[in-house]
Structure 1
Amino acid sequence: MYDTILLPVAPGGEANDAVPHVASLADRYDATVHVVSAIDTVAQTLRGPQAGAFAERVEDAAQARVEEVTGELEAAGVEVVGNVVHGEPLDVIENAIGNSGADLVVMPSHARTGLERVLLGSVTEKVVRVSSVPVITVPIREDESDAGRDDAA
């Protein structure tokens, strides 16, 4: 049913709660997982040494994240391919669906509410709306340090 699964990951060291779900689905369907990280930074269009250094750090973080996730999936016995792509995240994900032949996307989802949701939106939410294939969203667990924040307000 699912031969190719796309797993978009954000640059940086944040945990991705979707990885175990992808590993389970890939194992069940003997699917290949394509891990992609989009680099969309204003610094790439700016001039000067500071902008270049920032863009390089973002790219290094994206590459490290892709390597971490692909390593975790390989350790679980999953066939996996990883890429870092320059571009707006929604466009990168849409293109990756077509280029990889993905028939399923699995993405983490932040639980934003209120003004934060209106202002920031969600790449996952946008992908769900425009994707040509099914999208499974996996809620990101809150850190225990953040768990009591809303209760105190």
Structure 2
Amino acid sequence: MLALIQKILYATDLGANAPTVFNYAVSLARSFQAEIHLLHAIEPLGATGRTLMRSAVPEKQLDELERQGLAKVRKEIHRRLTEFAKRELGTADERATLVSKIVIAEGQADTVIIEQAKQIGADLIVMGTHSQSPLDRVLLGSVARKVTHLSPIPVLLVPIPGER
């Protein structure tokens, strides 16, 4: 039985090479008459950042500032993803047909990608991958590497041009 691809999760960091990776998701969506869900993960503020904020802002105000800041960031990322889809797909009809939803989710990128793929019932995850030195792979790993190892859903990794 051939694989049926109806929902594609395209995970992006909105970097300079996002159009290259998105092109693969669009090509597959057109071929399979599938829908694309665009996803951007907002990583949580690290311990160092929180400590710096606590030293400058009273604890009472910190949660409210974080909430307000996150709302602004989410709104801006949604705007950028919408503009990205317009720029890359051209016609409003094609956007409406191919891009089903734009999701901005908070958390560790690899976890967010896998959770969102499961939640929407994705048949494929499409994402870019940056090359890393052997030391980086041993110490840190990469989002793409973690997703491919942990995801029960097939993953298409698109190498970022010029970084091999």
Report the TM-score when normalising by structure 2.
0.72
**Aligned partners of 1:66 and 1:83 also within 8 Å:** no
17, 22, 26: which one pairs with 1:15?
17
Task: Please give the residue correspondences for 1:1-150 in structure 2 after superposition, counting only pairs within 5 Å.
Answer: 1-10=4-13, 12-16=14-18, 17-42=20-45, 47=54, 48=57, 52=66, 59=74, 62-72=77-87, 74-75=89-90, 77=94, 78-80=97-99, 81-142=101-162
1:15 Cα deviation from its structure 2 partner: 2.2
Which ranges in structure 2 are unaligned for 5 or more consecutive residues? none
Question: Aligned partners of 1:128, 1:62: CA distance in 2, in Å?
Answer: 25
Please say which of residues 86-95 and 54-63 is displaced more in the overlay: 54-63
Question: Aligned partners of 2:15, 2:132: CA distance in 1, in Å?
Answer: 20
Question: Aligned partners of 2:88, 2:151: CA distance in 1, in Å?
Answer: 24
Which ranges in structure 1 are unaligned for 5 or more consecutive residues? 148-153
% identity of equivalent residues: 29
CA offset digits 1:109-151 (Å, max 9, x no partner): 00112222223311111110111111110000127xxx9xxxx
Report SS of the residue matched to 1:136.
strand
Larger Rg over CA atoms: 2
Report the TM-score when normalising by structure 1.
0.77
Question: Aligned partners of 1:15, 1:54: CA distance in 2, in Å?
Answer: 26
Spell out structure 1 runs of 4+ moving beyond 6 A: none
Please say which of residues 13-22 and 39-48 is displaced more in the overlay: 39-48
How many residue pairs match? The answer is: 143
- With over 3 angstroms needed to count, the CA separation of the structure-2 counterparts of 1:70 and 1:125, relative to structure 1, is same
* Paired residue type of 2:78: Q
